[in-house]
């Protein structure tokens, strides 16, 4: 798969529909927050983006926008967790419907807690998970 632009990823990601806005507005809001605040950041792996906010020191909450196939997207989850762990973060809460992401995170040594299903999501079987970033490979 060719590398997409950030705009293409946000436009094509199923999770974008949950924001209730046109993809261009979602993109503009994210770009504005990342550019103008210290708490909002983006990590990228292939055609997956982790947009996250630093909620408190060493704790982040995020959302993954992806147009990657499920395996590549799941691998991106692991890389995002490793990157945040390397940066000193202790926890990341993020939503996913990929059982494979949870499996690969577990295999990489990360502990997870399923916090609950997102009932109002347009993405099937979306669950919030909390990833403990200490101890991952």
Q: What is the pLDDT along the chain (137 residues), one digit of tens a residue?
A: 789 999 999 999 988 887 778 999 999 999 999 999 999 999 999 999 999 999 998 999 999 999 999 899 999 999 999 999 999 999 999 877 777 888 888 888 888 887 766 666 665 666 778 888 875 55
Distance CA 123, CA 81 (A): 22
Please state the three-class secondary structure of the chain as a single string. CCCCCHHHHHHHCHHHHHHCCCHHHHHHHHHHHHHHCCCEEEEEECCEEEEEEEEECCEEEEEEEECCCHHHHHHHHHHHHHHHHHCCCCEEEEEECCHHHHHHHHHCCCEEEEEEECCCCCCCCCEEEEEECCCCC
């Amino acid at each position: 798969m060719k590398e997409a632009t950030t705009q293409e990823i946000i436009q094509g990601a199923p999770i974008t529909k949950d924001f209730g806005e046109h993809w261009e507005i979602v993109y503009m809001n994210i770009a504005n927050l990342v550019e103008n605040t210290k708490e909002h950041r983006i990590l990228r792996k292939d055609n997956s983006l982790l947009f996250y906010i630093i909620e408190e020191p060493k704790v982040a909450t995020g959302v993954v926008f992806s147009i990657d196939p499920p395996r590549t997207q799941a691998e991106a989850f692991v890389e995002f967790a490793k990157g945040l762990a390397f940066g000193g973060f202790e926890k990341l809460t993020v939503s996913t419907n990929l059982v494979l992401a949870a499996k690969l995170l577990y295999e990489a040594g990360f502990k997870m807690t399923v916090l609950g299903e997102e009932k109002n999501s347009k993405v099937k079987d979306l669950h919030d998970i909390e990833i403990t970033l200490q101890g991952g490979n």
